[in-house]
Amino acid sequence: MLFCSTRNKEMNVPSAHAILNGLADDGGLYIPHTMPEISIEEIGKMADYDYHKTAETVLKDFLPDYTAEELAEYVKNAYGIQFDTDEVAPLIKVKDNMYSLELWHGPTCAFKDFALQMLPQLLPAAARKCGEDKTVAILVATSGDTGKAALEGFADVNGTKICVFYPHGGTSDIQRYQMVTQTGNNVNVFAVKGNFDDTQNGVKAIFTDAEMADELAENRIMLSSANSINWGRLAPQIVYYYWAYSRLVKNNVIKTGDKVDFCVPTGNFGNILAGYMAKKSGLPINKLVCASNENNVLTEFLETGVYDRNRTFHLTTSPSMDILISSNLERLLFMLTDDETVKNWMKQLKENGKYNIGEDILNKLHEEGFIGFCCDDNDTAETIKRIYNETGYLCDTHTAVGVNVAEQYKISQSEDFPMVVVSTASPFKFAPAILSALDEENSGDDFEKLANLENAVNKKAPAPLAELKNKTPRFEKVIEKDDMRSEVLNWLKGR
Ligand SMILES: *Cc1c(COP(=O)(O)O)cnc(C)c1O
């Protein structure tokens, strides 16, 4: 199975190359020429598999350059004792015909661990397979969650180094503390004076700096990114769709071959796209319901076929979904059309902030099972409180958007398939918003709020969050945005 770019279907590169490069040279995203097929017999057998075996089975088809032995080893490393349950991703019944797939039992208590515990295994091996023996240095600009998940994934991984930049004063107390207390001999973290865009532009400038690349190459170092368009992040996310389905089979909710719905809290479109890859490779999925917050560019797009980023940007209580350009959507568009069409739309998006896919492609999107709904912060808070009071199940803000949207979707349908809401973060990661949704005491710093939430719901916060306040900060440096380049260079060259 070879990969091409969403902007050039003549391209033929192996998966290792796609993972090492991240983004194709023409600005497109890597995508397999043909989807692998997983048979219904194999899917039936998954009911008896654990998460590791499911991951090995699914990944071998999507990462053909890696041997079965390599994948088994990586899966064991990625989804090991750093997860607080052997199930890795428990499927919990919330209410009648609605289930929550909890993807937050890993080291940073959010779903990005599924990709970012795996990518650090895949990346150094990809470099070796491509005949590259340089150290791979990962640079990340983050507004909070991705930075920590990447640090945790790459810490002390041989052949890699990782440096994270976050906007000074632009993260929550807990997010900042998670990053500056990171352990590992190959990690570094800087606060940058500026906002997230300044930070991201700084990192982009470093990536396109040819002089810097040469200087690093002389020191046997190459730069790479860990952002969510990398195939090495997408592939591990396909696994948990198969896993959720096989748990429903195991628990006799469905028989192998029956259809289910998934509802996915969406930002950059990576998670829900992985669901589509699962569907295209054989998993019996009826609808993929795209859940958005007030930044509802995707809801409108799935309704009208017009993608229009020219709108007010809202800061919401589900910050990881506060996105106006959903990069991974490009892969879906390519799968429904062709490279020239995608290139044209992406050009329009860049120049006018807008494109229209037209009625035929919109119909195709709907036939493929995509449908979108959104809800605002008030609805999100109402959902958290109501679901908790009625069922005892506590959702984080992102998951609550998913539950609210799943309910809207169910009301709009005549058929009732089992619904899996993809739960993307622990409620304790967003304690202030949860406390206020539950009308509980919401004062003090983030650590006091964490304790307040523990008392209010009579549950312990996950250990990685609870233990945070006893850790010692290691990275206190605040730098000017113009100094990002020199700081990285000095660090990588060991000065
Ligand atoms: C990143 C993130 C999302 C959005 O996922 P995408 O793959 O970007 O669509 C949703 N919820 C949480 C908690 C996240 O961290």
Counting as low any pLDDT under 70, the low residues of the chain are 495
* 270 residue type, one letter: G
**What CA–CA distances, in Å, run from 467 to 290, 334, 471?**
34, 44, 7
> What are the structure tokens assigned to 427, written together?
């409620």
Separation of 179 CA from ligand 1 center, angstroms?
A: 18
Three-class HEC string of the chain = CCEEECCEEEEEECHHHHHHHCECCCCCEEEECCCCCCCHHHHHHHHHCCHHHHHHHHHHHHCCCCCHHHHHHHHHHHCCCCCCCCCCCCEEEEECCEEEEECCCCCCCECHHHHHCCHHHHHHHHHHHCCCCCEEEEEEECCCHHHHHHHHHHCCCCCEEEEEEEECCCCCHHHHHHHHCCCCCCEEEEEEECCHHHHHHHHHHHHCCHHHHHHHHHCCEEEECCCCCCHHHHHHHHHHHHHHHHHHHHCCCCCCCCCEEEEEECCCCHHHHHHHHHHHCCCCEEEEEEEECCCCHHHHHHHHCEEECCCCCCCCCCHHHCCCCCCCHHHHHHHHCCHHHHHHHHHHHHHHCEEECHHHHHHHHHHCCEEEEECCHHHHHHHHHHHHHHHCCCCCHHHHHHHHHHHHHHHHCCCCCCEEEEECECHHHHHHHHHHHCCCCCCCCHHHHHHHHHHHHCCCCCHHHHCHHHCCCCCCCEEEHHHHHHHHHHHHCCC
**Pairwise CA distance, residues 205 & 210, whole Å:** 10
Separation of 265 CA from ligand 1 center, angstroms?
A: 7
**Pairwise CA distance, residues 331 & 370, whole Å:** 14
pLDDT of residue 236: 98
Q: Are 29 and 229 in contact (CB under 8 A)?
A: yes
Q: Which long-range contacts (CB under 8 A, 24 or more apart) does 471-474 make?
A: 471/177, 471/181, 472/181, 473/177, 473/180, 473/181, 474/180, 474/181, 474/182, 474/183, 474/189
224-240 pLDDT, tens digit per residue, is: 888 888 999 999 999 99
Work out the widest C-alpha separation in the chain, in whole angstroms: 65
Separation of 228 CA from ligand 1 center, angstroms?
A: 10
Residue nearest to atom 1 of ligand 1 (CA): 320
Residue nearest to atom 15 of ligand 1 (CA): 320
pLDDT of residue 495: 67
Separation of 492 CA from ligand 1 center, angstroms?
A: 30
Cβ-proximal residues to 81 (8 Å cutoff; 6+ apart), any chain: none
Separation of 423 CA from ligand 1 center, angstroms?
A: 10
Residue nearest to atom 4 of ligand 1 (CA): 267
Ligand 1, atom nearest to 268 Cα: 8
Ligand 1, atom nearest to 269 Cα: 9
Pocket of ligand 1 (CB under 6 A): 110-112, 145, 228, 265-271, 320-321, 398, 424-425
* Residue among 142, 325, 398 to mutate when testing ligand 1 (max atoms within 8 A of CB): 398
**Pairwise CA distance, residues 81 & 99, whole Å:** 25
**Pairwise CA distance, residues 141 & 21, whole Å:** 18
**Pairwise CA distance, residues 211 & 216, whole Å:** 9
295-351 pLDDT, tens digit per residue, is: 999 999 999 999 999 999 898 999 989 888 888 999 999 999 999 999 999 999 999
250 catalytic per annotation: no
Q: Which residues on adjacent β-strands are paired with residue 371?
A: 289
Annotated active-site residue in 9, 53, 112, 350: 112
